[in-house]
Amino acid sequence: MKLFFALTFVGALATGLMGGVFFAFSTFVMKALGRIPASEGISAMQSINVVVERSSFLIVFLGATVTCLTLAVASFWHPASPAGRFALAGAVVYLLGCILVTMVCNVPMNNALGTMPATAPATATYWTTIYLRDWTFWNHVRTAACLLSSGLLTWALKCV
């Protein structure tokens, strides 16, 4: 039970931290990038997308993923307990609402943007009419999923 508590605690912190990062992007980073000339916003986002893959963000992102996968499996050893049910719910919300959305929605958009020349008119059109709107929408989903996951995992801690 101590290991389950520790995993749940780490999961709650990691998913909450991820929610905070995504919240920052949803509430002011993307808005700021959208206010500057398109080529500058595109260049900045392209740079962010390169740097993020080599930063401590990736450690927390993947660490939360591994923790949630482990919690999902571990919760089957506690199926009747409220802690097990809340931990499973928190893990599933993170895995679907953050990881799946990231892989299916945000990463493909990042990859597409990364191949486009920042100063091309077609890139500016993509940036202003699709990327800013759609990427931010899916980032809102990730934000909500991470925060809900963190809340559920925190509640599971109360039940251990």
Task: Encode pLDDT of 98-108 as tens digits.
Answer: 999 999 999 99
The C-alpha torsion from 87 through 90 and 93 to 94, rounded to 10°, is -110
∠ CA 94-151-56, nearest 5°, is: 55
Q: How many percent of the chain have pLDDT more than 90? A: 92
Total structural domains within the chain? 1
| The pLDDT of residue 1 is above 80 | no
Does 80 score more than 90 pLDDT? no
Residue in this structure with the two tokens 């571990």, named with its chain if needed: 74
Does the pLDDT at position 35 exceed 90?
A: yes
Q: Does 160 score more than 90 pLDDT? A: no
Residue 68 has pLDDT above 90, yes or no: yes
- Domain extent at residue 63: 2-159
| Range 59-87 average pLDDT | 92
